[in-house]
Each structure stands twice: as structure tokens, then as C-alpha cells.
Amino acid sequence: MATAQAKAQTIEITYREAVREAIRDALKRDDRVFLMGEDVGRYGGCYAVSKGLLAEFGPERIRDTPLSESGFTGAGIGAAMAGMRPIVELMTVNFSLLALDQILNTAATVRHMSGNQFGAPVVIRMATGAGRQLAAQHSHSLEGWYAHIPGIKVLAPATLDDARGMLWTALQDPDPVLIFENVMLYNMTGKLAADAGPVDIDKAVVRRAGKDISLVTYGGSLWKTLQAADALAAEGIDAEVIDLRSLRPLDDATVMASVSKTRRAVIVDEGWRTGSLAAEICTRIVEQAFWELDAPVGRVCSEEVPIPYPRHLEEAAIPQAPKIIAAAKAALGRA
């Protein structure tokens, strides 16, 4: 009885705190795990995710690095190849491009290049997305670029459970895993099971069941899509919402099952429209479920401009609930 009650207990927590607890848990479980990145130690992390961890675990486990993404990402990859389990924090997805050579040409290829003699079991975390008026060099959603690369996994935790549980599963993976944390989620609060543990990292989840249209999304856009689905429900439109969770590999089976049921789909992706992850998903739907469709697949993506600084322009540049609602109605012929 006591055990059942313990399992039922929940705690009020923010997304930021859920990520911190995931890191803390990993550091306690495995002496090979350490966190490294710019300002992760004394400053407590750019988004306060690692606040307090330096005092708890010391500078050997919580390592402040120079401002050189290529340098410290390469060091983390090397440590992983040598048997450690580093968590590398890149401050924003925009600055991850300075480490792209290390990620693409080393981490993602070393297993192939070494004839399976070496792997690089490194986890690389970074903030992504817009909405905090951080302007064009700190606000883009480039996770779709990384989802293009074979040899890595790409994750986008949108819920507290995933923010808490994906990291530990990722640290067990023999190859590189990139985790993209949307900046607009860090302050999100909710309830999390006190005994929350590892979660699956290669399956999509139906967050809202429906029969009229499939809304496929991930990361920070999930909550806008759920908001849009609630508004559509008030008008008699029953939308199903799929949270991809994993962007590489994509869970085609869950998406196709939903589309085969609803016969219509809209993809919501905070990346730019041209060459987007949304375009890849649309193509897969056409390849695998074309004869199930009753309407063209719609897309709601960011406008093809650098993310503006003024709040009203920033909001106009990225997907919002009204745009999702309009796209869903267009697919249903109710525009």
C-alpha cells in the first residue's frame, strides 16, 4: 500500500528543474558522467538549468569551458570515445553551428570511419526556438538541419516527463544524441511523478486523440498546437495531436496510423518552410499514405526571415495557434 502511494505522488516542477533533476540523477548514477559548457558552473547555466550543481558535484563534474564551441564539443566527443559519458551544453542552437564540423564529421561518422571499433556516446544539449526577444543570433530552430545527419539521434522533449526522462536514456545510447530544449518551455510548470524515470526516445506520442485531422508537431510548438486543437474542438473539429519527440529517427508508423484514420494532416514546425523537417514529414506521408489522404498536407512554419527582435514581429514570424487553426480549416475545406 505504501509503495502504491509513493508511486502516485507527484511534485510541482518547472521544465528547467526537470532537466536539472535529470542531470543530477545522471551524475549520481554514473561516475563517468560530467557536464561541460559555457557558464554551466559558477553562473549556473545561461538558462539556470545547472544552477547549484557546481556546489554539489564540484569542478571535475561541472566544467566551465572557454567560449569555443568547436573546442569543447570536440573535447566532449573525445572523452566519450575514451569511455566517459559527457553531457555537452551548447548555449543556443545558433552557436552550435560553430561545432558543426565536430558533430557532423567526427561524432556522427566515427563508428563508420573506424569500422565499428569506436563510438562517441556523447549527449549534446542546446536551447532552440524563439519567443524571448533574443533576436537573430539566438532564436532560430535548426534542429531539422541536424535531423538530416545519419549517425546521430535528435530529440525534442516538449513535456516535463520527457525533459526529465530522455537524458538518462540518451546517456545509454552508444552513439551521439542531440537534445533540443525550446527556450519557451523552461518556465513551464506542471506535475511530475516523484519516481519519474527514463523514457523511450524513438517513438512519437498521440497527445490528443481525434478523428478529423492530424496535427503533427514537436517541442515548443506542441502547446500551441494543443491550444489550436482546443479552439477547433469548440467549432466541432476533432483534431488529433501528435508529438514527434524524436526527429531522427522519425516514428513513421505513428504518423501514418493517425493520417490513415483522419485522412488529413497539417505539420507544425518552427523551422523555416524551405527544406524543412515539415517538408520531410509531408513527403513521407505522400510516399506512404497518399491514397489515404482526402486533402493536400498543410504546413505551418516560421516566416523565411531572420527572427526579429521586436516582440510583435517575433510573434508574427513563428507559428502561433491562429495560423494552425487556419491551416487545419483549410485542409478541411472550411477556410
Report whether pLDDT(29) > 90: yes
pLDDT for res 8:
64
Q: How high is the mean pLDDT of the chain? A: 96
Please pick, among 138, 140, 270, 314, the residue that the annotation labels catalytic.
Answer: 138
Please pick, among 17, 21, 38, 69, the residue that the annotation labels catalytic.
Answer: 69
Q: Superfamily assignment of 10-193 in CATH?
A: Thiamin diphosphate (ThDP)-binding fold, Pyr/PP domains (3.40.50.970)
Whole-number Å distance between alpha carbons of 178 and 86? 12
Q: Is 96 helix (H, G, I), strand (E, B) or coil?
A: helix
Cell of 301: 512554419
Report whether pLDDT(5) > 60: no
List pLDDT tens digits, range 247-275. Answer: 999 999 999 999 999 999 999 999 999 99
Report whether pLDDT(1) > 50: no
Report whether pLDDT(320) > 90: yes
What CATH number has the domain spanning 205-331?
3.40.50.920
Whole-number Å distance between alpha carbons of 121 and 219? 23
CA-CA-CA-CA dihedral for 184, 186, 192, 196, to nearest 10: 120
Burial bucket for residue 6 (CB in 10 Å: 0-12, 13-18, 19+): exposed
Same fold, 10-193 and 205-331: yes
Of 40, 87, 47, the C-alpha closest to 64 is 40
Helix axes 221-233, 321-331, angle to 10 degrees: 60
CA-CA-CA-CA dihedral for 69, 74, 77, 83, to nearest 10: -120
Report whether pLDDT(278) > 90: yes
pLDDT for res 7:
52
Q: Which residues of 156-193 are buried (b: 16+ CB within 10 A; e: fewer)?
A: bbbbbbbbbbbbbbbbebebbbbbbbbbbbbebeeebb
Residue with cell 569500422: 115
- Sort strands 239-243 and 205-208 into parallel, antiparallel or unpaired: antiparallel
Report whether pLDDT(4) > 60: no
**pLDDT exceeding 90 applies to what percent of the chain?**
96
Is residue 140 among the annotated active site residues? Answer: no
List pLDDT tens digits, range 65-117. Answer: 999 999 999 999 999 999 999 999 999 999 999 999 999 999 999 999 999 99
Can you state the percent helix, strand and coil of the chain, rounding each to 5? 40, 20, 40
Any idea where the domains of the chain sit in the sequence?
10-193, 205-331
pLDDT for res 335:
74
Residue with cell 531522427: 248
Cell of 268: 507544425
Kindly indicate the confidence band of residue 195, based on its pLDDT and cuts at 50, 70 and 90: confident
List pLDDT tens digits, range 130-179. Answer: 999 999 999 999 999 999 999 999 999 999 999 999 999 999 999 999 99
Is residue 69 among the annotated active site residues? Answer: yes
